[in-house]
Amino acid sequence: MQITGSFTPQQTSKRYPALLLVDEPNQSSDQLMLAIDGHDPALAPVTIVHVSAMMAGADWRITLAGKGVFTLSAPDLPESLTPFLPKGAQRGFFIGLAERLRWWGMIIVFMLILASLTGIRMGLPAAGDYLARYIPIHWAKNAGDSTLRQLDQLFLSPSKLSLAKRRHIDQIFANMKAKLPPDAIQPKLIYRSSSSFGPNAFALPGNIVILLDEMVEFADDDDVITGVLAHEIGHVTNQHGVRAVAQSAVIAIAVGLVFGIDDSFVEEIATLSTSLILSSQSRKFETEADRVSLEILQQLGRDPASMAKFFDKVAAECGEGCTRSSFFDSHPRLDQRRALFE
């Protein structure tokens, strides 16, 4: 059998018409011969050391030990060459199967892509949560402390609340802490003021709860302050901070991995879906913290309806903008949150 192609001597750009000979009349069956036009010697026994993987439209690049490269233009590697191929060459042929797919094969590929995307969508937040459980609490506290330091440098200023007011809120906070199970993470309350965040309170990874003066003024009601602080305690005891960091890390790494295939547009979509997943996760956390808040309010014998009134006040303050919702919101809609406390 004669296989027609061309031959390039090692590390040159020369090109000769050439033949690979297998099982020709005067040839031993375990020998592969190369015949080269216009080259001396014209005939030589050769060994194949490497064959390029199958690739649509590409020539086969067959590397011959110590000689050079035999190039073959054919959709498939001739059957007769199989006994002379190096061991590893067969593995690449798996991918060759993919090249032969027809349109219905691609439909199956698409269905599999959708299925794995769904699986990943479900699995990633869970994987992040799982990871978060193995993060020691003092790591989380370190993270919280350094976040606080940065916030202090950039946005926060010391609280201007009177000492009496602070004592009063500290007392409320202590009452709530007393209701926590003994093995729960013990939250720590600190006071700050900030013009850029408005009326707000938040929990950092670890155990820090920050209450802003603006929130105290805006709420102006012990029940509401209790509800708000209880909500933040819910974040702390449920470790939402660390879980959010772990989840965003897992998702970011996974998305980077999968869509690292380099495509700015696909990357955009990936970033978009990352923030969609993270936002939906964040809304879940907020609802969970609201439930804790409700529970604590009931345990302390305070009126949950005051939280409903508080949400009304927030809604009135920010007007139309707060009644609309989008999939990118970090918090559930106000009326949904309000309904929980009624």
Partner 1 sequence: MAETPKSLDDVVKNPFASKASAASPDENSYLFQRFEKLEFTGTAWSYFKIYFINILLTLLTLGLYVPWARVRRRRYFYSNTRIMGDGIDYLATGFDLLKGWLLVLAGFALFYTLPFFDFSIAYLDMIFLIAVFIAYPWALNKSLQFNARNIVWRDVRFTWHGSYWGVAVNLFLAPLVGFLTLGLLLPLASRMMKHYIAKNYSFGSERFEITTNLGDFYKAWFKTFLLGFGIAVVTIMPLGLAYFNQNLLEMIDMNSPLRWTIILIMLQLLMVGLFLATTNFYRAQTRNLMINGLRLDDNIRFRSDLSGLRLAWIVLQNAALIILSFSLLLPWAHVRYYRYLTENTYIRPYNDMTQFVDNERNAGHSVGDAFGEAAGLEITL
168-207: contacts with partner 1 (CB under 8 A)? 205
Q: Which is nearer to partner 1, 36 or 294 (CB)?
A: 36
The correct pick among 24, 129, 221, 329 for binding partner 1 (CB under 8 A) is 24
Could you give the CA distance from residue 303 to residue 290 in angstroms, rounded to a whole number? 14
In SS3 terms, 132-165 reads as HHCCCHHHHHHHHHHHHHHHHHHCCEECCCCHHH
The correct pick among 8, 239, 293, 306 for binding partner 1 (CB under 8 A) is 8
The correct pick among 49, 71, 200, 329 for binding partner 1 (CB under 8 A) is 71
Q: Which is nearer to partner 1, 19 or 296 (CB)?
A: 19
Contact 36, 16 (CB under 8 A): yes
Q: What is the closest distance, in whole angstroms, from the C-beta atom of residue 106 to partner 1 in the complex?
A: 6
Q: What is the closest distance, in whole angstroms, from the C-beta atom of residue 115 to partner 1 in the complex?
A: 9
Q: Give me the helix-helix angle, 163-179 and 222-237, nearest 10°.
A: 50
Kindly identify the residues of this chain, within the stretch 249-278, that bind partner 1 according to CB under 8 A: 249, 252-254, 256-258, 260-267, 269
Q: Which of 20, 17, 16 is nearest to 2 (CA)?
A: 20
Q: Which of 186, 188, 215 is nearest to 199 (CA)?
A: 215
Q: Which is nearer to partner 1, 113 or 305 (CB)?
A: 113
Question: Residues binding partner 1: what is the number (CB under 8 A)?
Answer: 81
Kindly identify the residues of this chain, within the stretch 35-54, that bind partner 1 according to CB under 8 A: 35, 37-39, 41-43, 45, 52-53
b/e map of 98-128 (b: 16 or more CB within 10 Å)? eeeeeeeeeeeeeeeeeeeeeeeeeebbebb
Q: Which is nearer to partner 1, 240 or 302 (CB)?
A: 240
Q: Which is nearer to partner 1, 216 or 245 (CB)?
A: 245
Sign, CA torsion 160/162/167/171: negative
The burial class, CB within 10 Å (0-12 / 13-18 / 19+), for 36 is buried
Q: What is the closest distance, in whole angstroms, from the C-beta atom of residue 210 to partner 1 in the complex?
A: 17
Q: Does 33 bind partner 1 (CB under 8 A)?
A: yes
Q: Which is nearer to partner 1, 114 or 339 (CB)?
A: 114
Kindly identify the residues of this chain, within the stretch 98-157, that bind partner 1 according to CB under 8 A: 98-99, 101, 106, 109-110, 112-113, 116-117, 120, 135, 139-140, 142-143, 145-147, 149
Region of residue 209 (left: phi > 0; alpha: psi -120 to 50; beta: else): beta
For residue 37, the Cα-to-chain-centroid distance in whole angstroms is 57
Structure tokens at 265: 């547009």
Q: Does 14 bind partner 1 (CB under 8 A)?
A: yes
Contact 290, 335 (CB under 8 A): no
Sign, CA torsion 266/268/270/276: negative
Q: Which stretch binds partner 1 (CB under 8 A): 181-189, 246-254, 291-299, 305-313?
A: 246-254
Could you give the CA distance from residue 145 to residue 24 in angstroms, rounded to a whole number? 79
Q: What is the closest distance, in whole angstroms, from the C-beta atom of residue 272 to partner 1 in the complex?
A: 12
Q: What is the closest distance, in whole angstroms, from the C-beta atom of residue 135 to partner 1 in the complex?
A: 7
The correct pick among 47, 58, 318, 327 for binding partner 1 (CB under 8 A) is 58
Kindly identify the residues of this chain, within the stretch 316-335, that bind partner 1 according to CB under 8 A: 320, 324
Q: Which is nearer to partner 1, 137 or 339 (CB)?
A: 137
